[in-house]
Structure 1
Amino acid sequence: MTHPFDRLADPTFIAENRLPAHSDHRWFAPSDGGTSSFEQSLSGRWKLHYAKNLGGTLPEFWAADTSTWDDVPVPAHLQLLGYDRPQYTNVQYPWDGYEQVVPGEVPTAYNPVGSYVKDYELDRPLEPGERLAVTFHGAESAVAVWHNGTYVGYGTDGFTPSSFDLTPTVVPGTNRLAVQVVKFSGQSWIEDQDFYRFSGIFRDVVLERRPAVHLEDVRVTTTVADDLASAVVRVEPRLEGAGVVRATLDGVGPLVPREDGALAVVIDGPRLWSAEDPHLYPLRIEVLDDDGAVVEVVPQHVGIRRFGIEGGTLRINGRRVVFHGVNRHEFGLQGRVMTREQTEADLQLMKRANINAVRTSHYPNSSLFYELCDRYGLYVVDEMNVEAHGVWDEIVQGRRAVADAVPGDRPEWRGSLLARAEAMLERDKNHPSIVLWSCGNEAFGGTGFRDVADWFRAHDTRPVHYEGVHWDPRYPETSDVVSRMYAPAEEIEKYLASHREKPYILCEYAHAMGNSFGAVDKYTELAYREELFQGGFIWDFADQAVPLVDRHGRSFLGYGGDAGEAPHDGEFCGNGIVFADRTPTPKLAEVSRLYQPLHLDVSDDVVRVHNRNLFTDAGVYAGEVVVRREGVLVSTTPLALALAPGEAVTVPLGVKVPRAPGEYTIDVTFALRQATAWAPAGHVVASGQAVITPVVEPVETTRPPVVEPVETTPRPPRLVRGIHNVGVHGDHFTTLFSQVHGGLQSYRYGITRDGGHELLASVPKPSFWHAPTSNERGWGMPFEDGGWLLASRYARATGTPTVVEHPDSVSVGFTYELPTTPSSSCDVAYRVFGDGRVEVTQTLRPGDGLTDPPELGLLIETPADLTRLRWYGEGPHESYVDRRAAARLGVWSSDVREELTPYLRPQEAGNHTGVRWAEVTDARGRGLRVSAGEEPLELSALPWTPFEIENARHHTELPPVHRTVLRPALMRRGVGGDDSWGARTHPEYLLPHGELVFRFAFQGL
């Protein structure tokens, strides 16, 4: 017998004996409860024989004695069970550089094969006329199936179901299902997604009984009138066997048969489905045999909605929609094996973050994902399992002609594209959450994609999306929308000034790799300024990372290369707004703020509110106004607001800021009045803040003047000029400035037997460097800015310290020569007062033509016991100059040991902007207080220096904690994030050129 894998390298060999694609409905017997008696799960324990290539597989494995084989769970990836190894690549094909293969061919030396065997018994015998099929809902990348020793079929496109008829081969008693899954087939050339390369059966395997009369497929469509006052629900069934179908829509009534075989009903005043109100009408479909007996019950949920391009823009139920979207790989700590509970938790998290749209990057998800999106309310771009980025790169590099694109114009790939389109659409067509069909991702253009788009339009009314036509514009009709990736906001606005033909979306933007997501407000605000720009989809939702254990037995989350694989693409898989374990990153708070449904502009006595909802009145939210004085609560006042969707209004806050001196914050929040499926009552959906410093007018009085007591000025400090050291001392402190070591060597504070607590662990040094972020690595920051690393590590004090006595203080200054090219210098002057307060003035004079430094500050190492961080500034999470919309001014506290955000690869993290003061203390309250000068400063308090962080590839590699490292700074460079391979921080978020002066103070506690 010819083995189907003999044709692995044939692009036209897509499937054999696979049952036609159909809707993902389930069918039940009339007496069934929540479990269908027509289904029997085969997920669970299977026997496995693993081979690293086809040559190592067992001949006639379906008949082998499996008693010595391994027991493995299904669903699962082989690579996460100890076979083969996980491999993360972005664009590179996994076999690249090992074997000389061309598109369509497969590697032979390394092409793992899992041979699975499952012995099972039917839960009951087959009824007369009943058929039995097995469905593999997900298997990468190609699956071949034998049943009781008979070959039954073959399938590719592992992200849509492969179903095979087992009826002719069923035997009484024990049956044997034998399956081989190969990692790479010829189809793998168009499955080059940016993800971990796994293989095996990764979704459920289900036996399905089909009665003699069976609803094989059903299409449910809704047509909403122009005035939205009525709608038609239409059901088009496809029966196998002699019978009839009847259907009833809950709360409406029975559907009426039509002459064309469909059933339909008109609904007056329908409640329309949208992401804001995902109302679903229960539909009960019954299949009756010739005797009139009900043999199948098919429950469906119908979302009545109208979506399409109307008046030039994408509209849902007549309203222009803005996608507050995110891309999502179906990926968790078990790889692409996702349970219903995990998927549901993802969607709840998205809704709580004000996300309203998801793109299934870059393959169809499991059916339960769409079912949950229907229920929770998310607009879905459903994407085909197609990407050929590696071949595309050859075209971009000029090594391959456009005519050689894969799949491109090649006729041998056309059938595969159309089969994948059909498999996705036919399975998913009844989900109201799906609003766009996507032809795939990053595979250039060509007639193949043009034909797929035409096929979509011939079989459905939803618009078609494909970004590849931007790069190959020969067939612009392929996509109904202009779709781009990572285009700067300014470029989008310029383009739309002269191109008004199609709506514009960003199918990927704001590449959230590592510490990123800066300046995203430029995009979100453009969507409400430019009608044709209708939002986009952040890349991406969750880090792709795999649980690993290092050589010392410590668990960590691994990325490309950590499993010993090559080629790989490092931490490029760490782009999530949540971590792989779904812990939120600080980026998620920014997402929630930028995507919030109410846009708030708060001033001292009013707030302007723009209701960006399409269908929801702001009255569903409970408003609250909270006034604080420098973190201390002053008042809390409710704020009632009824505001129609799309409208804006200015309303008084109903509070007055006290006239007492100080800095006041006015926080306005709107929260859910009632619990939803995705959040409890009280969940905050929108917030805004104003910071007010009232001008206190002098009050006239006729009372006699009051004689003010004379203030006692602290005694000036005592100066000691030593041979190598300058000492400045007060009643409760001592400072020692070292000429030998070029700086402040000691700062002791408090009264103890040994002269106070030493608060310095080393000489403070000017800091111009931070551990490069992933984005900075992407544009080459370590190479371009390496001089500032040298300046931070190897600055050299020159000359002797300057010492100046003032009436109330002593100043000691140092000048540092910086090893930059051309050379730079930096002055650090300490002015010590009698109460122990030290004012620091740092002046940087960069050499002509140098790049902007990553930061300007002072690196102060303090004892490791100072772990308690408290600050008055922006928080509670980390913030940067270009990612601070979600940060609020207040008094916050944290543990220094938790301040380094655990991005997949250690990098600059944990910064706080807008800091007025901050304290690091030990358990007894002893420590150091840092205060801003005339302008708020930025502050980082971490257990490690930037150099230690940069040297660690994983958090488990960071050294034991020996100190607390403070880095007060004038400014740190913004994190950027338009993309992670060349886009830089926007100019306004860089440190200014020329001489820079930074002033702050510190004092012991």
Structure 2
Amino acid sequence: MKATRADINWLSDPTVYRVNRLDAHSDHRYYHTMEEAKRKAPMAMRHDLNGNWKFSYAVNVASRIENFYTPDYDCKGWDDIQVPGHIQMQGYGQLQYVNTMYPWDGLDGVRPPAIPVSSNPVGSYVKHFRKPESMTGPVYISFQGVESAFYVWLNGEFVGYAEDSFTPSEFDLTPFIKDGDNKLAVEVFQRSSGAWLEDQDFWRFSGIFRDVYLYTVPEIHVRDLFVHTELDDSYSNGNLKVDLDLLQADAAASAKLELKDADGTVVAAGEGAFVNGKLSLAVAAGEVKLWSAESPYLYSIYLSVLNAQGELVEAIVQKAGFRRFEMINKIMHLNGKRIVFKGVNRHEFNVRSGRTITAEDMLWDIKTIKANNLNAVRTSHYPNQTLWYELCDEYGIYLIDEMNLESHGSWQKMGAVEPSWNVPGNLPEWQGSVLDRAESMLERDKNHPSILIWSCGNESYAGEVIQNATKYFHAKDPSRLVHYEGVFYDRNYEATSDMESRMYAKPADIIAYLESNPSKPYISCEYMHAMGNSVGGMHKYTELEQKYPMYQGGFIWDYMDQSIMTKDRYGNEFFAYGGDFNDRPTDYSFCGNGIVFADRRETPKMQEVKFLYQNVKLAPSRDGLKVVNENLFVNTNEWALSVRLYLNGVEVYSSTGVVAVEAGSETVVPLSLPEEAMKLPGEYAIHTALVLKQDELWAEAGHEVAFGEYLFEVAAEKAEVPAGSISVVEGDVNIGVMGDGFTIQFSKGVGSLASIRYGKREFIAAPPVPQFWRAMTDNDKGYAQGYDAGVWFAASLARKCLKVELNVAESGDRATVAFEYGFSINAELRVRTTYTVFADGSIQVKTDYKGAAGLPNVPVVGLMFKLSADYDQTEWYAMGPEENYIDRAFGARLGTFSRAVKDLPTPYLVPQETGNRTGVRRVRITDSRGLGLQLTASASAPVECNVSPYTAFELENAAHHYELPPVHYTVVTVAGRQMGVGGDDSWGAPVHPEYQIPADQNLSFTFTISPIDRSSK
């Protein structure tokens, strides 16, 4: 659409989404000389407009300053605002987080395409600039991202209008620009008809949040190029075709092409003349190296554009990767091999700047993703900045590139499918806007080999409008497949997606599909909802990879917590979520679903993800190592093989070598472990790992890419009872057991162990009590754990000691005190805790849980007590190093590690159960001088343990970390079993049955308490 005047009615007209906007084109860089192009110099024909702009904020359309764009209007008194940046992140308007509902739900009853009138914030921007002297030709402006609709004026003249927040909008400034001072004015509206198509699960921002720059072009300019890399059926020989489209269709011009490998050697060349501004250059590349995530080999295309006199007028260097992505026998293949996506969904996000992210942010992300064995990213749910695609090309990441479309709130309300007013559906007035978004994405991103799949958007139901986007993708770019999950809700539009794509389907549902003789391969475009303490049971999905060829992986939701750093009332920074800014409506903490925190630290969930996503499976035994290489293209000899042998957590042997297993193969190789090192009694662990031989772009030499472990025991003679004698004093209220340097006291009144005194030091700050409750995780809350199992909360707070028994051994070398507890929640439920004190001061603690029918599953069966917070250091011989649970322990390994108590809880966005370790053989809890207690369990019957500054109830009652109390205690919980954390979803999926604890089962666990140092220092 062309226009010379702005019209406010465009905002609510879905048929108007671009006015005077230039057509989308490839994101290639161009230069005056080939030398500039080779070294990727800053583009001389580009002028940055980022930085401070003058700014005025209006809460709605009626209160904005309408004539601010005129040359005579003086904006000097306005505030300054940073571009790029969100309006709401710079002190204006309302920060708001919502998931599926529209942000005005309950405040304005509008239906599409109408937009709220009273709540449509407007940001008015002004930038004064001088036309760069180097720009002697046409001048254009590029807005890389503006949310969600905006008008542009230059020197008082209307330039254009655009919607679609996440693809570039470019305009021709040539008719309006002048030498000297120029006044650029931009009016940004948060709401437009386009906002009905942008109902993503994210913070609702507005403003100019990506780069803005001027650019010019040479006298002859390649406006667009399309690189086609083709492979023959042997996937070894390549052909290159490059389609060039000139801005100046009538120019007499030609172009030369050189294809160079990574060493700079020319492998093919060609040239030709433009006809009506178009030219296709095709060359045979011969035998080529293929691009994949495993080996992201890139060639360089050198393009020289020549005028009629044969003079160079434009130089372009474009990266290219030879790869072929296709469907073969209903299975997706890359370069002839079945592919499995080990993926994650990724929002662009920064804890301090929102969706305005930097190159440093993107580099951190890509290195973290590669280092943790993820091979794929879905750009949820909009096109990203160009640099991200370049990094994925270079580092090796498979991409689902997703167009900016989500209308979740128009068809799903409170989880129910109700599409009575769904957009875009089959409504013709939305067709142009949706196709424009598809075209804007494809035309910009089409030359990136990392993109394997185009996506029609996310959670917008189904219909003819979206299906037509697929038809466009197929027609324009048959080298890629098309994804869309929404056909799951309306199979009349099955052709919209080339693959079956579902969200949060349970493993059983996926298996049912795969065993139904389906016509399409399966991916989970979203699975493993990683909200809070989650990602339990992930192995149930990854185990499908080799069992079902048509199962081709999935994308975890999601990569990063979308929390915003702000300050509490006392000026202390904290991670905020929805509702913390008085935003209503809101979806509160549902923005915290990341496998990394918002400040880009990895969460413990990544430990599990990295292990289950590794492409090489290592299964060691005492005499051999089975290596299964599930890579598609690379041999395991690319990495070094590390072998380490541990005895009771202490390394006794190590070696480094190489094992060569071809991609897609497996073998067993011998392990030459020294037999003499495996004769001593104790528990042995063989740790095998493949590590980088040298530095890579994404990690340093020595970084682990695959791991496997084997445990075995060499039996020891049965331990003798510690020698010595004890004395026992049974008083009216207390029972004292004394020995050399220790006094252990039990209280009949309290009904528990009351004191452990080694030398002059008292260790028990609060007596041990049965513990059945854990602070609910986000997943627990999602399936109403508090409602269904809240009786265990009560049982953990109150119990009745029914019986106290004392038994002194005839030998006089030990005494046993037992407490039996009853609970009001069920008359049959019993817990018996038995303490046996030996002559060396050690205490064996045995807890017997006798279950009862008719109760909900129990969250944890444990024993909790407190020490002084002075005991703030721990050393573990357990599964670790990060927290783990019975359904999230595949990525944990047996080892020795140390942590301060304050660092053991994971700072999830909302305080919840955290810090557990399974397979605990030993944990030492000490003060700064190394004095404290040691808890031990046998390797054949290890316990679970949690050491924290907070009780489960303190965590339960806090909505933010700043609400937790000052630290006074070190809280120790030893458990025979804790239920898993789950993760299929966070709104109704329970932990898988095998990882729950039926209330009617019987369960026992034993551990020993002993002093680390009994001196009276």
Q: Same fold (TM over 0.5)?
A: yes
Question: Retained in 1: the 8 A contact 2:778–2:986?
Answer: yes
Structure-2 residue corresponding to 1:761: 765
| Structure 1 pair 205–398 and aligned structure 2 pair: CA distance change class (3 A) | closer
- Specify the code of the residue in structure 2 equivalent to 1:437: W
Structure-1 residue corresponding to 2:984: 978
When structure 1 is superposed on structure 2, of 62-71 and 2-11 the one drifting more is: 2-11
Structure-2 residue corresponding to 1:931: 936
Shift in Å, 1:746? 1.4
CA distance in 1, matches of 2:214, 2:178: 15
Shift in Å, 1:286? 2.1
Shift in Å, 1:695? 5.3
1:218 aligns with 2:225: yes
**1:252 alignment partner, one of 263, 267, 272:** 267
Any idea what SS the aligned residue of 1:449 has? helix
When structure 1 is superposed on structure 2, of 392-401 and 164-173 the one drifting more is: 392-401
CA distance in 2, matches of 1:816, 1:364: 60
**2:354 alignment partner, one of 315, 328, 335:** 335
1:325 aligns with 2:343: yes
5+ residue gaps, structure 2: 261-265, 1013-1017
CA distance in 1, matches of 2:945, 2:364: 34
| Structure 1 pair 718–954 and aligned structure 2 pair: CA distance change class (3 A) | same
Shift in Å, 1:321? 0.8
CA distance in 2, matches of 1:687, 1:158: 42
Any idea what SS the aligned residue of 1:474 has? helix
1:674 aligns with 2:694: yes
Give per-residue Cα distances to partners, 1:252-291, cap 9 Å, x unaligned: 2322438983101101111111111111111122222233
When structure 1 is superposed on structure 2, of 807-816 and 478-487 the one drifting more is: 807-816
- Specify the code of the residue in structure 2 equivalent to 1:337: T
| Structure 1 pair 711–304 and aligned structure 2 pair: CA distance change class (3 A) | closer
1:465 aligns with 2:470: no
CA distance in 2, matches of 1:718, 1:318: 77
Give per-residue Cα distances to partners, 1:487-526, cap 9 Å, x unaligned: 1223212211123311111111111111111111121121
CA distance in 1, matches of 2:123, 2:826: 58
CA distance in 2, matches of 1:681, 1:857: 42
CA distance in 1, matches of 2:604, 2:133: 53
Question: Retained in 2: the 8 A contact 1:212–1:240?
Answer: no
Structure-2 residue corresponding to 1:231: 238
Structure-1 residue corresponding to 2:647: 629
Kindly report the root-mean-square deviation, in angstroms, between the aligned alpha carbons of the 2 structures. 1.8
CA distance in 1, matches of 2:415, 2:288: 50
Structure-1 residue corresponding to 2:873: 868
CA distance in 2, matches of 1:5, 1:758: 75
Question: Retained in 2: the 8 A contact 1:820–1:847?
Answer: no
Any idea what SS the aligned residue of 1:456 has? helix
Structure-2 residue corresponding to 1:494: 512
Question: Retained in 1: the 8 A contact 2:624–2:671?
Answer: yes
- Specify the code of the residue in structure 2 equivalent to 1:380: L
CA distance in 2, matches of 1:812, 1:126: 90
Question: Retained in 1: the 8 A contact 2:692–2:703?
Answer: yes
Any idea what SS the aligned residue of 2:736 has? strand
| Structure 1 pair 219–885 and aligned structure 2 pair: CA distance change class (3 A) | same
CA distance in 2, matches of 1:665, 1:94: 54
**2:970 alignment partner, one of 957, 964, 967:** 964
| Structure 1 pair 1001–593 and aligned structure 2 pair: CA distance change class (3 A) | same
Shift in Å, 1:400? 4.3
When structure 1 is superposed on structure 2, of 338-347 and 821-830 the one drifting more is: 821-830
Shift in Å, 1:893? 1.2
Correspondence list, 1:728-877, <5 A: 728-750=737-759, 756-798=760-802, 800-807=803-810, 808-820=813-825, 824-877=829-882
- Specify the code of the residue in structure 2 equivalent to 1:939: C
**1:154 alignment partner, one of 161, 180, 183:** 161
Shift in Å, 1:1004? 2.6
Correspondence list, 1:114-133, <5 A: 114-124=123-133, 126-127=135-136, 130-133=137-140
CA distance in 2, matches of 1:597, 1:686: 7
Shift in Å, 1:739? 2.3
CA distance in 1, matches of 2:119, 2:885: 46
Shift in Å, 1:782? 1.3
- Specify the code of the residue in structure 2 equivalent to 1:599: K
Question: Retained in 2: the 8 A contact 1:622–1:639?
Answer: yes
| Structure 1 pair 398–935 and aligned structure 2 pair: CA distance change class (3 A) | closer
Paired-residue identity, %: 45
**2:332 alignment partner, one of 314, 319, 343:** 314
Structure-1 residue corresponding to 2:263: none
Question: Retained in 2: the 8 A contact 1:560–1:571?
Answer: yes
When structure 1 is superposed on structure 2, of 958-967 and 925-934 the one drifting more is: 925-934
CA distance in 2, matches of 1:648, 1:125: 61
Question: Retained in 1: the 8 A contact 2:850–2:1003?
Answer: yes
Structure-2 residue corresponding to 1:705: none
When structure 1 is superposed on structure 2, of 954-963 and 69-78 the one drifting more is: 954-963
CA distance in 2, matches of 1:148, 1:85: 31
Give per-residue Cα distances to partners, 1:709-759, cap 9 Å, x unaligned: x98953342221212222222222112222222222211112xxxxx2110
Any idea what SS the aligned residue of 2:546 has? coil
Any idea what SS the aligned residue of 1:61 has? coil
CA distance in 2, matches of 1:551, 1:499: 59
CA distance in 2, matches of 1:196, 1:694: 56
CA distance in 2, matches of 1:813, 1:712: 19
Return the TM-score normalized by structure 1.
0.96
- Specify the code of the residue in structure 1 equivalent to 2:380: S
CA distance in 2, matches of 1:52, 1:730: 76
Question: Retained in 2: the 8 A contact 1:4–1:154?
Answer: no
Shift in Å, 1:1002? 1.2
1:995 aligns with 2:995: no
Runs of 4+ in 1 over 4 A off after TM superposition: 695-698, 710-713
**1:11 alignment partner, one of 14, 17, 20:** 14
Any idea what SS the aligned residue of 2:562 has? coil
CA distance in 2, matches of 1:253, 1:322: 33
Question: Retained in 1: the 8 A contact 2:616–2:629?
Answer: yes
Question: Retained in 1: the 8 A contact 2:131–2:178?
Answer: no
1:55 aligns with 2:65: no
Question: Retained in 1: the 8 A contact 2:807–2:816?
Answer: yes
Shift in Å, 1:245? 2.6
Shift in Å, 1:10? 1.4
Any idea what SS the aligned residue of 2:365 has? helix
Shift in Å, 1:999? 2.0
Any idea what SS the aligned residue of 2:607 has? helix
Question: Retained in 1: the 8 A contact 2:5–2:158?
Answer: no
CA distance in 1, matches of 2:329, 2:437: 31
Any idea what SS the aligned residue of 1:475 has? helix
Give per-residue Cα distances to partners, 1:128-168, cap 9 Å, x unaligned: xx211111000101111011101111100010001011110
- Specify the code of the residue in structure 1 equivalent to 2:933: L
Shift in Å, 1:248? 1.6
Any idea what SS the aligned residue of 2:216 has? strand
CA distance in 1, matches of 2:317, 2:411: 44
Question: Retained in 2: the 8 A contact 1:289–1:295?
Answer: yes
| Structure 1 pair 398–645 and aligned structure 2 pair: CA distance change class (3 A) | closer
- Specify the code of the residue in structure 1 equivalent to 2:967: V
Give per-residue Cα distances to partners, 1:371-417, cap 9 Å, x unaligned: 1111111110000101111112149636543xx42111111111111
Structure-2 residue corresponding to 1:355: 374
Give per-residue Cα distances to partners, 1:307-326, cap 9 Å, x unaligned: 11123211111111111111
Any idea what SS the aligned residue of 2:596 has? coil
- Specify the code of the residue in structure 2 equivalent to 1:132: V
Structure-1 residue corresponding to 2:559: 541
When structure 1 is superposed on structure 2, of 1-10 and 616-625 the one drifting more is: 1-10
Correspondence list, 1:643-722, <5 A: 643-657=661-675, 658-694=678-714, 714-722=723-731
CA distance in 1, matches of 2:632, 2:418: 48
When structure 1 is superposed on structure 2, of 935-944 and 737-746 the one drifting more is: 737-746
| Structure 1 pair 713–665 and aligned structure 2 pair: CA distance change class (3 A) | closer
When structure 1 is superposed on structure 2, of 136-145 and 208-217 the one drifting more is: 208-217
Any idea what SS the aligned residue of 1:143 has? strand
| Structure 1 pair 713–531 and aligned structure 2 pair: CA distance change class (3 A) | closer
Question: Retained in 2: the 8 A contact 1:541–1:576?
Answer: yes
